[in-house]
């Protein structure tokens, strides 16, 4: 967990008004504890991602939510795929091959 | 082997600052690991790009690199960034990369490749994939890091790993143990283990680069009259001559008694700051001497402080 002030102090280039706006726009959500804003490790990494997108890659402020939303959807889909893959790997070799073969057939059927 | 930073960014040596900035931005947009979640190679590539940019964006380090004063590796160590986790290490939920270094799930990638059109092996064989990389951190005693040591670490799952700590190992140095990660799937090769060294501080020795600094107490007699005394070093006790009239704050140097540099193989030095210590027990003769003593050159050591 990192406090909001510490996050501002240790993140190169992060401007307080930018962070406040990102929080207000729910691009990143700190935890609230005894009136203090705290960021856990994923939240911390998310702020760093926002900084990289905004400052290093020069993505415009109004495009940020679009990029973040697409990334969130991509990560959510990957998490589901991961769970699915793990479930497949837990099956017998015969079942695995059956699934893989069926997916291949399915794909060929697609236009 | 570190590549030429100009080559990494696809630039000529004559590139302007604006061109460097633009080249970095373009490559970073393409290779930022959070924008390529399934691409394990993107992390290494992005680090390379970032290191090249760190070196070239500062005109002074760029000038020193161009003049051959620093090489791409030296500069990289100098500008080394803290290990920054990427968002993708958390974004796919618990149990994913946060515990397993930066390894993406090779199993899933292989499964997807099989399922979606990667025909190379035919779909008849069982899935086969490299095991995941794992990372550990190990705490290392100061002298073990200074002199090198072999250590056996026991992991939570009961497995043991042989780790050779190199002489002069640095804090946060990462060792790679090939094939010591998770087992492969379906006969695939195992992943690698990464071990991060955490060097513990020492009671007397302090490390600065390849040099060792130590504060050494000496008696009043040794300071005034000089003499040969035993001095601890990271590689054992050595005898050193203290010159006559040494004082608290006098710094002496023992050549080549520091740590061996990993790159050059040269040893650093040990710097010894003397600290004069008065006798611990009562010394009536010394008191009597001082009472009867008129200095030839009266000292006024606080003169500058009392204007």
Question: pLDDT class for A105, splitting at 50, 70, 90?
Answer: low
Across the interface, do A96 and B116 touch by the CB < 8 Å criterion? no
pLDDT at B272: 96
The interaxial angle of helices B59-66 and B41-57, nearest 10 deg, is 90
What is the token pair recorded at A2?
Answer: 């990192």
Q: How many CB atoms lie within 10 A of CB B263?
A: 10
Task: Give pTM, 2 decimals.
Answer: 0.49
Q: What is the pLDDT of residues A16-33, one digit of tens each?
A: 999 999 999 999 989 888
Mean pLDDT of A98-104: 75
- Residue B86 located in a structural domain: no
Q: How confident is the model at residue A98 (pLDDT cuts 50, 70, 90)?
A: confident
Q: State whether B115 and A82 contact (CB < 8 Å).
A: no
Residue B158 lies in a domain: no
DSSP B132: P
Which residue of chain A has the CA closest to B81? A12
Hey, are the CB atoms on A85 and B25 less than 8 Å from each other? no
Instruction: Please indicate if any CB of chain A lies within 8 Å of the CB of B37.
Output: yes
**pLDDT for residue A84:** 83
Tens of pLDDT, residue by residue over A44-77, are: 889 999 998 999 888 999 999 999 999 999 888 8
Question: Is residue B272 included in any domain, yes or no?
Answer: yes
Helix, strand or coil for residue B213?
strand
The residue among B237 and A34 whose pLDDT is bigger is B237
Å from A34 to nearest chain B CA? 26
At B140-194, the pLDDT tens digits run 999 999 999 998 888 767 778 888 999 999 888 888 888 888 887 777 788 888 8
Q: Where are the domains of chain A?
A: 2-59
Tokens linked to B222: 């040794």
Nearest Cα residue in chain B from A78: B92
Per-residue pLDDT at A109 exceeds 60: no
If you ran DSSP here, which 8-state letter would residue B282 be given? -
Query: Cβ(B190)–Cβ(B106) under 8 Å?
Result: no
Q: Is residue B159 part of a domain?
A: no
Q: Which residue has the tokens 């025909």?
A: B119
- Identify the helix (H) or strand (E) that includes residue B208: strand B206-208
Residues in chain B where the model's pLDDT stays below 70: 1-2, 73-84, 93-110, 112-128, 156
- Output the pLDDT for position B93: 64
pLDDT at B73: 63
* A104 and B CB contact within 8 Å: yes
A107 contacts in B (CB within 8 Å)? 115-117
Contacts of A82 in chain B (CB under 8 A): 92-93, 96, 105, 108
Looking at the 3D structure of chain B, how many domains does it have?
1
Phi-psi region of A96 (alpha: psi -120 to 50; beta: other; left: phi over 0): alpha
Q: Which two tokens stand for residue B38?
A: 């399934």
Could you please report the per-residue DSSP string of B10-21? T--TT--HHHHH
A74 φ, ψ to 5°? -60, -45
Would an 8 Å CB–CB cutoff place B28 in contact with chain A? yes
B155 and B193 Cβ atoms separated by less than 8 Å: no
Between CA B270 and CA B260 the distance in angstroms is: 12
CATH number at residue B250: 2.60.260.20
* Model pLDDT, residue B1: 46
Residue that wins the pLDDT comparison between A12 and B123 = A12
The candidate with the shortest Cα–Cα distance to A81, out of B108, B93, B91, B39, is: B108
Cβ pair B117:A107 closer than 8 A = yes
Is B236 among the domain residues?
yes
pLDDT of A83 reads: 80
């Amino acid at each position: 967990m990192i406090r909001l002030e510490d996050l501002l102090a240790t993140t190169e280039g992060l401007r307080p008004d930018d962070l406040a706006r990102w929080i207000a726009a729910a691009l990143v959500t700190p935890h609230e504890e005894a009136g203090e804003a705290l960021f856990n490790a994923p939240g911390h990494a998310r702020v760093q991602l926002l900084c990289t997108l905004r400052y290093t890659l020069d993505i415009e402020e109004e495009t940020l939510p679009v990029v973040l939303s697409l990334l969130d959807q991509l990560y959510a889909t990957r998490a589901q795929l991961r769970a699915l893959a793990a479930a497949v790997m837990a099956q017998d070799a015969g079942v695995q091959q059956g699934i893989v073969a069926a997916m291949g057939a399915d794909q060929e059927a697609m236009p | 082997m570190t590549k030429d930073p100009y080559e990494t960014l696809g630039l000529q040596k004559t590139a302007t600052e604006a061109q460097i900035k633009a080249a970095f931005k373009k490559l970073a947009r393409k290779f930022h690991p959070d924008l390529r979640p399934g691409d394990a190679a993107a992390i290494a590539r992005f680090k390379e790009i970032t290191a090249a940019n760190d070196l070239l964006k500062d005109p002074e380090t760029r000038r020193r690199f161009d003049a051959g004063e620093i090489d791409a590796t030296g500069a990289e160590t100098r500008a080394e960034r803290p290990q920054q986790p990427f968002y993708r290490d958390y974004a796919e939920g618990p149990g994913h990369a946060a515990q397993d270094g930066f390894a993406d799930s090779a199993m899933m990638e292989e499964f997807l490749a099989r399922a979606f059109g990667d025909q190379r092996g035919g779909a008849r064989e069982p899935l086969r994939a490299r095991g995941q990389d794992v990372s550990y951190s190990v705490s290392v005693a100061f002298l073990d890091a200074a002199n090198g040591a072999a250590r056996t670490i026991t992991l939570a799952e009961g497995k043991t790993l042989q780790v050779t700590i190199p002489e002069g190992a640095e804090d946060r140095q990462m060792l790679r143990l090939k094939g010591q990660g998770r087992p492969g799937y379906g006969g695939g090769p195992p992943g690698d283990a990464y071990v991060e060294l955490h060097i513990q501080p020492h009671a007397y020795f302090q490390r600065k680069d390849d040099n060792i600094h130590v504060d050494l107490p000496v008696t009043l007699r040794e300071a005034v009259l000089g003499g040969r005394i035993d001095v601890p070093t990271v590689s054992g006790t050595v005898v050193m001559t203290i010159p006559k009239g040494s004082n608290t704050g006098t710094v002496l140097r023992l050549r080549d008694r520091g740590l061996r540099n990993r790159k050059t193989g040269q040893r650093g030095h040990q710097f010894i700051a003397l600290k004069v210590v008065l006798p611990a027990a009562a010394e009536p003769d010394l008191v009597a001497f001082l009472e009867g003593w008129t200095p030839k050159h009266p000292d006024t050591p606080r003169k500058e402080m009392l204007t």
